[in-house]
Amino acid sequence: MHPQSNSEGYAILTDLTKCIGCEACVQACKTINELPPAEHPSKLSATTWTYIDRREGVNIRRQCLHCLDPACASVCPVAALHKTETGAVIYDFNRCIGCRYCLLACPFEIPKYEWDKALPRVQKCILCYEKRVSKGEEPACTAICPTGATLFGKRNELLDVARQRIKDHPEIYVNHIYGVAEAGGTSVLYLSDVPFEQLGFKTAQTTPYPQLTWNILRHIPTVVSVGGVGMLGTWWIIHRRMLIEKVNNGELSEEEAFGKRGETP
């Protein structure tokens, strides 16, 4: 299935009953994103954007869920993260000021930071947006799946597929599509034959997280929440970009500009 116009964008449906744990999706992700190879990665990191988690005898593909209303994008003061029309939540390094609010905001603990780099970036699955999806192709991970365990297409159509599978085989599937309501809805959906709570999925919160954030922030005086943060953010952006320009021009080394661990001042 290929991208076309759709108000909710596109999605991935992962049917855990069909996943054989071959890790073809893991290696395809590393190849297309030019990430260093790793044999059987066991967690998400700055260099591993998807992996196979094995619990209760089930192979579970973990990756960014590309929330319909992403908390990571809502807290970013410079719009370095944003939801595209395709459904992908993508990242712009040139805008990033290194505040790392996105790491704290994500309810699924997805974004990772390049702590070992002098010019660190936030790293996570971007749904092959630039290299494939924006060009009308499906992500590398879904294209390579040998069993059809992970499908790509319009979100509403994948929901129909998921509902039909549950209807046709109620003896197999848990009567729940993960991602319909969780965190306000996600663009990565799951079917399972084992309750999601037993597989380590977060299932309680259905309100979009940006709404919860606003309910707190609206009680903070405007002069503090907007004025103070705005002034600090402006200084941070200007200062960081000046350092990056000096590194690019050869006036400073990366270590001189950002320190040995690459932590932004």
Helix (H) or strand (E) holding 73: helix 71-75
Per residue in 5-46, pLDDT tens? 345 799 999 999 999 999 999 999 999 999 999 999 999 999
Q: What is the mean pLDDT of residues 148-169?
A: 98
Q: Work out whether the CA dihedral 181, 159, 198, 73 comes out positive or negative.
A: negative
Multiple choice CATH, 10-209, 3.40.640.10, 3.30.420.40, 3.30.70.20, 3.90.470.10: 3.30.70.20
pLDDT digits (tens, 9 = 90+) for 60-99: 999 999 999 999 999 999 999 999 999 999 999 999 999 9
Phi, psi of 186 (to 5 degrees): -130, 165
Per-residue confidence at 224, pLDDT binned at 50, 70, 90? very low
Residue-averaged pLDDT of the chain = 86
Cβ–Cβ under 8 Å, residues 151 and 160: no
With a pLDDT cut of 70, the percent of the chain lying above it is 78
CA atoms within 13 A on the CB side of 172: 14
The C-alpha R_g of the chain, in whole angstroms, comes to 20
Residue type, 167: K
Q: In what order do the strands lie in the sheet with 10-15?
A: 150-154, 10-15, 188-191
What's the pLDDT at 204? 61
Q: Which amino acid is at 9?
A: G
More confident residue, 255 or 133: 133
pLDDT mean over 155-179: 98
**What's residue 95's pLDDT?**
94
Torsion angle defined by CA atoms of residues 54, 42, 15 and 113, in that order, rounded to the nearest 10 degrees? 150
Q: How far apart are CA 243 and CA 239, in angstroms?
A: 6
**CATH 3.30.70.20 domain extents, the chain:** 10-209
pTM: 0.79
- Determine the pLDDT at residue 257: 65
Residue 149 to residue 14: CA distance in whole angstroms: 6
Q: Contact at 8 Å (CB) between 48 and 79?
A: no
Mark 18-43 as b/e (b = at least 16 C-beta within 10 Å). bbeeebbbbbbbbebbebeeeeebee
DSSP 123: E
How far is Cα 71 from Cα 215, in angstroms, rounded to an integer?
A: 13
Is residue 14 within 8 Å of residue 51, measured between CB atoms? no
